[in-house]
Amino acid sequence: MADDVKALSAELAQDPDSLVFLRLGELLRHKGQLDAAHRVALTGLERHPHLADAHDLYARILADKHDFERAFDEWDMTLRIAPDHLGALKGLAFLYFKVGDVPQAAAHLEAAQRVAPDDPGIAQALALAHGGEGGAGPASAPEPLAPSPAAQPLEEARVFAGLEGAEEGLLLLDPAGRVLGGALKDPAGRDVSDAVAAYLAGVSQEAGRTAKLLGLGTWTGLAAEGQHGHVHLTPPTGSALLLVVRERAVPMGRLAIIAQRAAVAARRWLEAQA
């Protein structure tokens, strides 16, 4: 097996963009070399940030390291990229079991079973969730397995009505990284709203934790300069997140003003929805 690691490592070194990192990371994980697996998975993710299997691998490693919160984030991300990803559905079911949320665990297992109806492991876990043959499992009755309600339909065009960039550079998100309104396009004109929203899930909480840890009070904004454009994030309410993106020619100070105006519109819209 050491030879396998050596061979896969060599293959990856020869072609760093290769997907062989998935096999190498999994092999290292199986061998219990979690730190090495972690490094391989992270490097792979940097090169393939939209690859569902890469997020799934990273999540499994994090779960093995008992970093369940981040594992949850990664499996959640996996499902945003690939909603029928079997590994992520099973992984999230596992995490829901761990925290005692049996209905959610069962719902994810049901979804997994739809993807892989012949998987005996899923059937066994479902039986456990239902307090059936597994015996030792939770005995609570299953919730009706209705699909989780999707985010409310958007009415997104109205959120930022009248504001510059309403349909290409303003995005309103919920804490779980779902788009509430607005839209975002990349420089090539492709709609990247969902992908960017997914990556920003949890940013509001992390920014809040960081500010609190530093004794800085409530966070009010997060501005970032990129090679091809600028970003301004602001929390229009306690939980929602507003993203404003503009090209580099727009100075950061002006971006902050645009963000303030958009935040007022977003706050008003959110209050109207409540």
* Least distance CB 88 / other proteins (angstroms): 17
For residue 18, the tally of other CB atoms under 10 A from its CB is 17
Q: If you search the block for the tokens 């090209």, which residue do you land on?
A: 247
- Kindly write down the DSSP assignment for every residue of 31-52, as one continuous string: TT-HHHHHHHHHHHHHH-TT-H
The residue type of 211 is A
114 binds other proteins (CB under 8 A): no
* Least distance CB 29 / other proteins (angstroms): 17
Rounded CA gap, 31 and 41, in Å? 15
82 binds other proteins (CB under 8 A): no
Per-residue 3-state assignment (H helix, E strand, C coil) for 240-268: CEEEEEEECCCCHHHHHHHHHHHHHHHHH
Residue number with CB closer to other proteins (144 or 189) = 189
- Contact assessment for residue 131 and residue 115, using Cβ atoms and an 8 Å cutoff: no
Residue from 5, 86, 123, 203 binding other proteins (CB under 8 A) = 203
- Kindly write down the DSSP assignment for every residue of 87-133, as one continuous string: HHHHHHHHHHHHTT-HHHHHHHHHHHHHH-TT-HHHHHHHHHHTTST
* Least distance CB 206 / other proteins (angstroms): 5
Which one of the spans 1-9, 86-94, 145-153, 190-198 is the region binding other proteins (CB under 8 A)? 190-198
Residue number with CB closer to other proteins (102 or 250) = 250
| 244-250: Cβ within 8 A, 24+ apart | 244/165, 244/169, 244/170, 245/165, 245/169, 245/170, 245/171, 245/184, 246/165, 246/169, 247/187
175 binds other proteins (CB under 8 A): no
239 binds other proteins (CB under 8 A): no
Residue from 186, 237, 260, 261 binding other proteins (CB under 8 A) = 186
* Least distance CB 157 / other proteins (angstroms): 20
Residue from 97, 160, 219, 269 binding other proteins (CB under 8 A) = 219
Residue number with CB closer to other proteins (108 or 232) = 232
* Token pair listed for 166: 């309403």
Residue from 5, 211, 260, 267 binding other proteins (CB under 8 A) = 211
**Which residues between 14 and 43 bind other proteins (CB under 8 A)?**
39, 42
Count the site residues for other proteins by CB under 8 A: 42
Residue from 131, 134, 175, 221 binding other proteins (CB under 8 A) = 221
Least Cα distance to 122 among 82, 92, 98, 81 occurs for 92
- Contact assessment for residue 91 and residue 29, using Cβ atoms and an 8 Å cutoff: no
**Per-residue binding letters, 242-271, with other proteins (x by CB under 8 A):** ---x------x-------------------
Binding site for other proteins (CB under 8 A): 39, 42, 49-50, 184, 186-188, 190, 192, 195-196, 199-200, 202-203, 206-207, 209-211, 213-231, 245, 252
